Chains A and B, each alone.
Chain A
Amino acid sequence: MGVQTLAEDILKVSGLSVNYESSQGTVHALESVSIAIESRSLIAVVGESGSGKSTLGLAVIGLLPSPPAKDITGKVEYKGVNLLELDKESIRSYRGTEIAMIFQEPITSLNPVYKVGTQIEEAIRIRDARKTDTSKSENPRKNEAHERRDEVISSLKRVRIPDPENVADRYPFELSGGMRQRVMIAMALSQKPSLLIADEPTTALDVTTQAEVLKLMRNLMNEVDTSILLITHDLAVASQVADRVAVMYGGQIVEEAEVNELFSQPLHPYTNGLLSCIPTGSKKETRLKPILGNVLDLRETYAYCKFAPRCPFVKDKCWASKPDLKPSKGEHLVACFLYE
């Protein structure tokens, strides 16, 4: 649907749609979403809550809660294989060692009754068991256990955790938020995935820690040869680490571009609105500029552009049909009738 296919795409999502069954009707969480990620790159998907960004992440790794999710259509091609066509067991074989995911609140995302070292070790064991498919049993011999322990320590070192031997024997509740998130990253990366999906990994952290974790993720990408799909509501976060940025609204991608290009020349009115929301702190600014209008009701299906009710540049055409995501110049994609 207008996305350039590059030879080295790790992930290629085409026309992905997801509906949720809710007590108040069917919610159209994702509508025909297409996005691609090259190897060794970091793409940030930015959107407000309800934009569908988390759904996108969960759909790729196959963790959408299956009721209430239904009607999953489209293609999710990972290294050429359409994951949506696979059965449960096959998808599970991709999780962890091919596609990994880390989540927003590290305190609830780590098992409270096991030490963090044990949890990382479990990830490593799964990876090892998959490599040597003949020995699926998890009977550790003595030196294997020792090796794994060493690897746990080094994975903690890699995420710059101080005193990793000590930390490995701690329970999650004994660590700070930033440390826990590093542990989650260490755990995910220890399985050596080619794609890491990070769903709001820094939202629960304070600004300083946020910056550190983001920088860490960026650096590790090259060290470990992993691509990252970063999901966030915060443009500032995206600007710090992304190669490309995709903006989502109402379950659709409305703009996608290389990061500097997006920030210097935003095309879609929504992106524009988002960027002007950020207070610059300059003397000329007298008031904050919100995006006018109400949040979209995703239970409705729209035959027109979803942003039309709030768009300062709306035309008649916008109420008549929906714009497709198309390249406007080079690799800068936008879904807006202003540019057609």
Chain B
Amino acid sequence: MLAMIRFSLQDMVRHYKPWLAMAALVAATNLIYLGLGGYRSALQQAFGKLPYDDLIAQESNTTGEFFGSRLSPEIGDRLLAMGISRVIPEIHDYTGTSITNITILRGIDLERYQQVNSFKIRSGRALQPIDAQRTAMIGWRLAARLSLLPGKQITLRGRQFLVVGTFQTGTYVDNEAWISLEDAQALLGYGKDVSIFIIPDEGILKAGDTLPGSVSIVKRGLGPQITRTQFEPLFRIIELIYYALGIAAILTLANVLFRMAWIHRRELAILRCVGFQSRGMVVYLLTQALVLTWVGVILGTLSTALLFSFESTYLVGMTLNPSIGLQTGIAGLGQSTGIALFGSVLPAWWFSRLNLANQLRSE
């Protein structure tokens, strides 16, 4: 067995060029797989299930949690009149005129926003009802993008706001700037209007209900869910590329293994004659396949890690930081090992069917 492994490895070193090319192919396949997984999990983290069971009232056919909804304060009064125990208004919009200065903005009721928003303060403090006008707390991703710290000023639609703290939620919200509801209404020209009302799911209204005046009740988190869904077709196509590369890797590996073994068919036949069992051929091929794919996996993983360390994707005012998760990494290794197994089984089966005497005669 060891002799066969040594022979196999010596042969790899002797004909290193096709093996190097093959390792690059496996590395590329691994890179695409890990990259895809990294972006998927980054999106899942940003726009995945929010930790709230609330409902929201928003203008029909809009994604009020991001932008586009506008409700008059009378809607809030109507909700309270229906017996709903807690009706908290918020404004969701964005400022900026280009990709470079876009900021996602949330206007919050300083008295009650902490009842419906959970977050962790990373630096400074949270906004308080006693805060003066033009104060803001901002998500840590936005703070990182704009290099802002508590005590500095952030410009929102041409006006300066004092940053009092940075917060973290672990979702897309970390890209937002939060200011008081009144400041947001004045800044955006909303008058007394708001974007949404956050209400508890206590059985009075349910998701899917509508109210007169084009108001819809939806589950909180529907907007992020729709955003995430928009990316699925793109991922599906990238997945097709990954599958194509995976098939290319299996076929090319089988091709290389078979042809390399074919070049050495006489030597391999001699080994069988002097007592090596036929499973030696499997060991010979599998050794080459595993060494090759694992080298490819290491190269692919290192390249992905390098790429992710330089690359953060900025999309419509949000920063996505993809990373290699442990699960994705293990899955990538498993799939590459699968490529090695599939790629070596075919040539091993082929060789087992060849006549030993014919192989010995070959020159």
A, B assembled together:
no
